[in-house]
Structure 1
Amino acid sequence: MWMDVPGSLAGFTRSEQLQRRLHDLVPGGAHTYARGSDQYPEGMAPVLVRGRGARVWDADGNCFVEYGMGLRAVTLGHAYRPVLDAVRAVLGDGMSFTRPTELELAAAEEFLALVPAADMVKFGKNGSDATSAAVRLSRAATGRELVAVCDQPFFSADDWFVGTLEMNAGIPAVVREQTLRFRFNDLDSLRGLFDAHDGRIACVVMEQATALTEPDPGFLQGVRELCDRHGTVLVFDEMITGFRWAAGGAQEVYGVRPDLSCWGKAIGNGFPISALAGRRELMELGGLRTEAPRVFLMSTTNGPETVSLTALRAVIRAYAETDPVGEMERRGRELAEGVNGAARELGVDAHVTAVGRPSCLLFTTKDAEGRPCQSYRTLFLQELLRRGVLGQSFVVSAAHTPQEVEFTVGAAREAMLVYRKALERKGVDGLLRGRPVAPALRARSAPRRLP
């Protein structure tokens, strides 16, 4: 039986059965580590079957208001009708051919019209396609090997970046040593890398902002100047900021132009598509107008398939005709104000807080001593789930309604009543079911190892 109203839970029996079977057949029980059951309270990891707008339904028929929205890939809402209608219209014409289609040209023209820093684009299927191609292209263009990455969470599932993570088994030491780290909003840390590795850094890869941190005045301009001075390619990762900060990405908001930019997630509203865009003189190294050794840039069978390119064009139209970014900003502000007001009222505002850019909200979960704590985070997730709210964050979409935000604020308030009990007890014993969640990209399966 389907529940149409979030909060009336029928339990998780069927989801638990499916999750156990997934663990038998899929390493980690999910195809993305951030979607793993170890990221949710034990026994409360819903296996989903459908979504519409800002709501999702699981295998037990439970209805949830969802946040995070497909790991930030969905900005217009699940099953957004104009995108689906556009996709349905092309299904009867075939998906994949042995030559380019007119659709590829139209998609490239419309996408590049949003990105003034780019002259050319290549489409792929996931963000790692784009960022890894950007690194390869930068190395070819400069004749250098080292990559400088900002101390931000994730850039690629490929060796050049995974080697920097705690979860780096299987990455040779020589590969790990080729990627260097610098600190966001700290030009001196980047300058120090250039001084220590003069003439050896091929590219700088970074997000221009995160949910929690805006660039300091002059920081991005300073990065651009350092790259220009040292002949290094500047690569902006727009996976999260693209179509969430603005249709033209964070480079539209902050006004600093990269040499290459990498896009994914929201450009297809959940359909699998990514893009590498950049200056012609760089991108042509992967083309047929160069005398230089050619770069194997991006070459995927399904990169230009018609369904995702059509979804991209429909998303671009939606951003031209409506105001998804404005809607996300409004709903995010309402949510943050409601949650933080409830936290102040209950006296837990030093521990639970909605923080960050309104369109990309996170929440803090601190223990009685004010330290970030996985046990308290799990307790908060557990109590939100019990009340019909699913999400590892408060990242909204343009489909979230004021009523759904109001519902979420009410659920968060009730969850914080339980949270306050844990603070008073100085622990979650007796309140939390099972083991706490654990970092998704940790080196060992413990503390959530399965028998």
Structure 2
Amino acid sequence: MRDLGPSTGFIQSTLLQRKLHDLVPGGAHTYARGDDQYPEGMAPVLVRGRGARVWDADGNCFVEYGMGLRSVTLGHAYQPVLDAVRDVLDQGLSFSRPTELELRAAEDFLAPLPGADMVKFAKNGSDATSGAVRLARAYTGRDLIAVCAQPFFATEDWFVGALEMNAGVPESTRKQTLRFAYNDLGSLRALFDEHPGQIACVIMEAATALAEPEPGFLEGVRALCTERGALLVFDEMITGYRWAYPGAQEFYGVRPDLACWGKAIGNGFPISALTGRREVMELGGLRTDRARVFLLSSTHGAETVSLTALRAVIRAYAEHDPVAVMEERGRALADGVNSAARELGLADHVAAVGRPSCLIFTTKDAEGRPSQPFRTLFLQELLRHGVLCQSFVVSAAHTPDDIELTVEAARAAMLVYGKALEDGIGRFLNGAPVAPALRSRAAPRRVR
């Protein structure tokens, strides 16, 4: 089994990462991609990918998980999508008027979405969620937003103000975002009671990797929004095309007023979407007598490459069943990792948990507490043995061989993990532990 030590296996990647820090704040364009999320000296800078494998600047090959922050469900360089994109390249990318392709893409995307009458395409998830918030405020005439206590919804002030990393967001804006607990209808009802007639919308993920809705919860949220005059917004960035086709609203049978899409709908190509009921969406159009909403006006929102990729992804989901493959591969991975953990006496410390298509792993210290140092050690040893992962989120491109290699790598990592529990982690961990991506200070992984 491979051993890519920090002193020998990541020389070019480390040099490139230093140069990235000179030119790009944080050394990456997404905080979750930062080298502070990886062991020191072991943050691969990637050069290509195919299927579920990626290669870095040093020529190392890894089985990758997370797959473009959960955006690549069909695999890197998925040929049918690339073929469709190549066919459109010679026809031009961006024009001064809409194209027929925009109509066809809208028809394709809306077809499996009962209750969604209109769509607006954009480039990233924050475009869609922030557009939904603005629409909801205009439609209801209210200012406050009720946000479920889930990890991330947007890079805009309305959400970032509620994070620890909120420098630059006015205090007045921070006060407009309210939090409620998942699977706790009472906490949401309390917000409505405390702020009567002031909440424009409730925005949430219908489910997460670790949290399924309890019986009646989503239905209760839907009923409460209707009763109190607020819009229900589902964030389908992760659940869309991963929980089911098209998404969680279909899987759980609860219809939102607005829904936000991204990630898997382009299989890595930059595209997001906002869908919703006609009477709400038309506030951003020309068929309304009400004050118009400035809604997702984007130079590149409808460029032909990403819309073509979207249509090709939809065809792939119609012709195959990527969700079923992801569920199967995820179950095999979880079974293998958890079986190895039990055999090594580490089941209380390391585990693959969550929905099979969206697995994460736990890393706990000798006292059974979640541990960043032990997470870093586990990442370090997985990297040594050819697995690149911040999670165990699979794609439909992961093969049984990929899963087998990963289980073997996890077993090897757990052998070191067990020794670290017994002898202390200091002997085994190279460098400082990883740190939360959205912390308020660069320390403890400040770059010198």
TM-score (norm 2): 0.99
1:428 lines up with 2:442 in the alignment: no
8 A contact 1:131–1:155 mirrored in 2: yes
Question: Which amino acid is the alignment partner of residue 437 of structure 2?
Answer: A
Counterpart code for 2:409:
A
- The runs of at least 4 consecutive aligned structure 1 residues that moved more than 3 Å come to 5-10
Unaligned ranges ≥5, structure 2: none
The answer (yes or no) to whether the contact 2:157–2:173 under 8 Å persists in 1 is yes
- Look up the equivalent residue of 2:390 and give its one-letter code: Q
Task: Tell me the alpha carbon deviations over residues 12-42 of structure 1, each in whole angstroms, 9 at most, x when there is no partner.
Answer: 0000000000000000000000000000000
- Identify the residue that residue 13 of structure 1 maps to in structure 2: 11
In 2, the alpha carbon distance for the partners of 1:63 and 1:256 equals: 42
SS of match in other structure, 1:166: coil
Residue 57 of structure 1 aligns to a residue in which SS? strand
- Out of 186, 189, 201, the position equivalent to 2:187 is 189
1:429 alignment partner, SS class: helix
Alpha-carbon separation, structure 2, partners of 1:180 and 1:229: 19
Which position in structure 2 is the counterpart of 1:322?
320
1:332-351 paired onto structure 2 within 5 Å: 332-351=330-349
2:286 is the counterpart of 1:288:
yes
Structure 1 gaps of 5+ residues are: none
Q: Shift of residue 248 of structure 1?
A: 1.3
Q: Matched residue of 2:202: which SS?
A: strand
> Within 2, Cα distance between the matches of 1:151 and 1:127?
18
| AA aligned opposite 2:74 | L
Deviation per CA, 1:197-224: give whole Å up to 9, x if none.
0000000000000000100000000000
Identity over aligned residues, as a percent? 76
**Which of the numbers 47, 57, 77 marks the counterpart of 1:49?**
47
1:85-139 Cα distance to aligned partner (Å, 9 max, x none): 0000000000000000000000000000121120000000000000000000000
Larger deviation, residues 243-252 vs 132-141: 243-252
2:435 aligned partner: 438
**Aligned mates of 1:116, 1:419 — CA distance in 2:** 49
Aligned residue identity for 1:94: G
Tell me the amino acid that sits aligned with residue 307 of structure 1. Answer: V
Q: Is residue 449 of structure 1 aligned with residue 446 of structure 2? A: yes
Supply the distance in 1 between the matched residues of 2:294 and 2:447 (Cα, whole angstroms): 41
Asked if structure 2 preserves the Cα contact closer than 8 Å seen for 1:74 and 1:397, the reply is yes
Q: State how far apart, in whole Å, the 2-side matches of 1:203 and 1:336 are.
A: 37
- Aligned letter for 2:167? A
Residue of structure 2 aligned with 1:173, choices 168, 171, 174: 171
Q: Deviations over 1:17-76 (max 9, x none)?
A: 000000000000000000000000000000000000000000000000000000000000
One of 254, 257, 269 as aligned partner of 1:256? 254
* Structure 1 residue 422: Cα displacement: 1.0
Q: Is the CA contact 1:332–1:361 (under 8 Å) kept in the aligned structure 2? A: yes
Distance 1:69 1:404, change over 3 A: same
Equivalenced residues, count: 446
Q: Give the superposition deviation at 1:247.
A: 1.6
2:143 aligned partner: 145
RMSD: 0.9
The answer to whether the 8 Å contact 1:7/1:389 transfers is no
Who is 2:300 aligned against? 302
* Whole-angstrom distance in 1 between the partners of 2:217 and 2:333: 30
CA distance in structure 1 between the partners assigned to 2:3 and 2:57 by the alignment:
15
Match of 2:235?
Answer: 237
Matched, 1:88 2:91: no
The TM-score with structure 1 as length reference comes to 0.98
- Once the two structures are superposed, what CA deviation does each residue of 1:275-308 show, in whole Å capped at 9, x if it has no partner? 0000000000000100000000110000000000
Distance in 2 between residues matched to 1:374 and 1:192, nearest whole Å: 35
CA contact (8 A) 1:130 1:262 kept: yes
**CA–CA distance in structure 2, aligned partners of residues 118 and 137 of structure 1:** 15
User: Distance between the aligned counterparts of 1:209 and 1:262, measured in 2?
Assistant: 14
Letter in 1 for 2:211: T
Indicate the SS of the match to 1:234: strand
Specify the code of the residue in structure 1 equivalent to 2:354: G
Of residues 111-120 and 340-349 in structure 1, the stretch that sits farther from structure 2 once superposed is 111-120
Structure 2 residue matching 1:440: 3-state secondary structure: coil
The match for 1:366 is 364
8 Å CA contact 1:7–1:63 kept in 2: the answer is: no
* Post-superposition offset of 1:6: 7.2
**Whole-angstrom distance in 2 between the partners of 1:419 and 1:194:** 47
In the alignment, does 2:102 pair up with 1:104?
yes
SS in 1 for 2:104: helix
Q: Look up the match of 1:75.
A: 73
